[in-house]
Structure 1
Amino acid sequence: MAEYQFSTVWRVEASLQEVWDVFSHPDQWPEWWACLEKVIEIKSGDSQGIGALHRYTWKGALPYRLTFDINVLNIMPCYRLEGEASGEVEGRGVWSFSDYGEETIVRYDWHVRTTLRWMNYLAPLAAPVFRWNHDTVMREGAKGLARKLGTRVREF
């Protein structure tokens, strides 16, 4: 398995509550995040959403799709979303949110391993391209979030 660690930071010109309201509904993410083709709820979580299981299908700039499940491990409203991935990637993703005056800092840390044989086989040569594809997906997410909120989102 090939391992990848990604960190993305966005500075969003919107309140923490506005940003949280968008992120706390993953079933609606495909409406604003063009690279996310679909989200299917497999299992609902508790009253906070912990324990929920969703299947995500992503399509970046490269000619392949990734489908994986995210089991919600932790939700701290307006502060943190944490999930464990299984399927074509395995690992952990953490969204963190913090107030920055009238803006919100959004950070995503994604530590995963690929399970697809072809990706693992190509990883020694293609890892930089896979990283570029991930960065493209995240840039599209920033653009979509900006459109959804009617504001600016800058990447760091």
Structure 2
Amino acid sequence: MVPHLFDLNSTWHLPAPPEQVWAIIADVDMSWPHWWPGCSFAAPLTRTESRSSSQEDVLKATTAQLNFKAFLRYTLTITIHPTSVDPPTDIHFDAGGHLEGIGRVTVSPEAAGRSRMDISWRVRPTQRWMNLMSPIAAPLFAAAHKLLMRQGEKGLIRALSEQMPEGTS
């Protein structure tokens, strides 16, 4: 059985400029589990020797193994390894674990100091049960992804609001 290919796309509208969004999403210590409900570390970050101490090189030398808990009562463990980093706008990454493939996050400015973040995944499940269920459950898996991403967007908005000086938003 050929695993089902999922093209999953999300757009987040965020109340902060791209540089502020970038500072959180491209944190070399991977702060996602601190602000994203349903996301936790599956293992400590692994890091190979980076070419330099720049954020881009440190990110490309880092692999995060994360658990994402879906509302359908399953947890996916996904590794994320940046392959291309262009601050403060673009990260390409390889995904592994329960979903294998590629992804991209692009941050762009919107009016009035706001940002748009586009997230795309092109992945295939590696778990047998997901591959067996995909022909009939693909819409449910896509809905679970959409809800999990919405939780991430809300969490990132909260994290950004905590960083904003009083009287701004």
TM-score norm. by structure 1 comes to 0.91
**Aligned residue type for 1:106:** M
Residues 46-125 of structure 1: matches in 2 within 5 Å? 46=50, 47=53, 48=56, 49-101=59-111, 102-125=113-136
What SS class does the counterpart of residue 95 from structure 2 fall into? strand
SS class of match (2:45): strand
- What is the identity percentage for the equivalent residue pairs of Structure 1 and Structure 2? 29
- Alignment gaps of 5+ in structure 2: 163-169
- State the one-letter code of the partner of 1:62: L
Which secondary structure does the structure 1 equivalent of 2:30 belong to?
Answer: helix
User: What residue number does 1:35 align with?
Assistant: 38
Q: Which has the higher strand share?
A: 1
Residue in 2 that maps onto 1:135: 146
Give the 3-state SS of the residue equivalent to 1:63 in structure 2: coil
Q: Which residue is equivalent to 1:10?
A: 12
Contact 1:43 1:53 in 2 (8 A): yes
Partners in 1 of 2:25 and 2:130 — Cα distance? 29
Residue identity opposite 1:31 in structure 2: H
Letter in 1 for 2:134: A
Could you tell me how far apart the structure 2 residues matched to 1:38 and 1:119 are? 22
Q: Distance in 2 between matches of 1:128 and 1:92?
A: 20
SS of the aligned residue for 2:117 comes to strand
Q: Work out the CA distance in 2 between the residues paired with 1:72 and 1:119.
A: 25
| Distance of aligned partners of 1:5 and 1:45 in 2 relative to their CA distance in 1, 3 Å threshold | farther
**Equivalent-residue separation in structure 2 for 1:67 and 1:41 (angstroms):** 13
Q: Mark the runs of 5 or more structure 1 residues left unpaired by the alignment.
A: 152-156
Q: What is the root-mean-square deviation of aligned Cα atoms in Å? A: 1.5
Q: Larger radius of gyration, structure 1 or 2?
A: 2
Shift of 1:90: 0.4
* Offset at residue 44 of structure 1 (A): 4.3
The question of 1:148 aligning with 2:159 is answered yes
Residue 78 of structure 1: SS of its match in structure 2?
Answer: coil
* Greater alpha carbon shift after TM alignment, 142-151 vs 7-16: 142-151
